[in-house]
Amino acid sequence: MSEIKQDELNSKTEINSNNSTNYNHDKVVIGNEVFVPMLKEEVLQERIRELGKQISNDYKNKVPVFIGVLNGAFLFLSDLIKNVNIDCEIDFFKLSSYGDEKISSGKVKLLKELNCDVNGRDILIVEDIVDSGLSIKFIEELILPHNPASMKVVSLLVKPNSLRYNVKIDYIGFDIPSKFVIGYGLDYAQKYRNLRSIYVLNE
């Protein structure tokens, strides 16, 4: 790499005040908010390997359909199915609930429908994080009337103290405190999904 290009790269990765982000991974500074590592890449990947193994065992001789909830679950879904060693299919819902802020709007909008027929199929809903449970409740109500053979939920993260709806999460990566987190698919105003670890707002 030429020196000029290296300089350009450095200037993009430094913390500065004009809204760019420090990607050096010890902390992520966004304006005057500091996010610190909560679940590092290796810890996430190890747990995802375990979940993949467990699901492969539980669905032996079946062909489940993994339904990812966009946008947040895209990285988790892709790493999860790489650790699943049975035949499976994938599809996606796209929901919107958070708007561009850190607090849920309390409403869910369906932005993309499924393309598969869930009738008679074993469905695994894949979420990045369950907070109030509203999104999962909304999805259950969409899917159950179409008579799947079974429906289970897998979520990388759950905030147990934030649950407001009566939903069952069958496979949980990690229970976490009710704090705002970013990275590994999770966004803050649509950014930071590309971070490899999960970071928590340092309050």
Identify the helix (H) or strand (E) that includes residue 5: helix 3-13
Q: Residue 101: what residue type?
A: E
Query: Cα(108)–Cα(150) distance, rounded to whole angstroms?
Result: 23
Among 132, 142, 152, 193, binds ligand IMP (CB under 6 A): 132
Among 97, 114, 174, 197, binds ligand IMP (CB under 6 A): 97
Among 41, 104, 174, 196, binds ligand IMP (CB under 6 A): 104
Q: Are 108 and 95 in contact (CB under 8 A)?
A: yes
* Interacting span for Mg ion (CB under 5 A) from 32-40, 61-69, 140-148, 190-198: 61-69
Which positions from 58 to 87 touch ligand IMP by CB under 6 A, shown as an x/- string?
-----------x--x---------------
Is the CB of 84 or the CB of 182 nearer to ligand IMP?
Answer: 182
3-state SS track over 17-81: CCCCCCCCCCCEEECCEEEEEEECHHHHHHHHHHHHHHHHHHCCCCCCEEEEEECCCHHHHHHHH
User: Which is it for the CA torsion 102, 105, 108, 110, positive or negative?
Assistant: negative
133 sits near ligand IMP (criterion: CB under 6 A): yes
Q: Residue 164: what residue type?
A: R
Among 54, 56, 180, 197, binds ligand IMP (CB under 6 A): 180
Active site residues: 131
Hey, which residues between 112 and 131 contact ligand IMP (CB under 6 A)? 127-131
Site for ligand IMP, rule CB under 6 A: 69, 72, 97-98, 104, 127-135, 180-182, 186-187
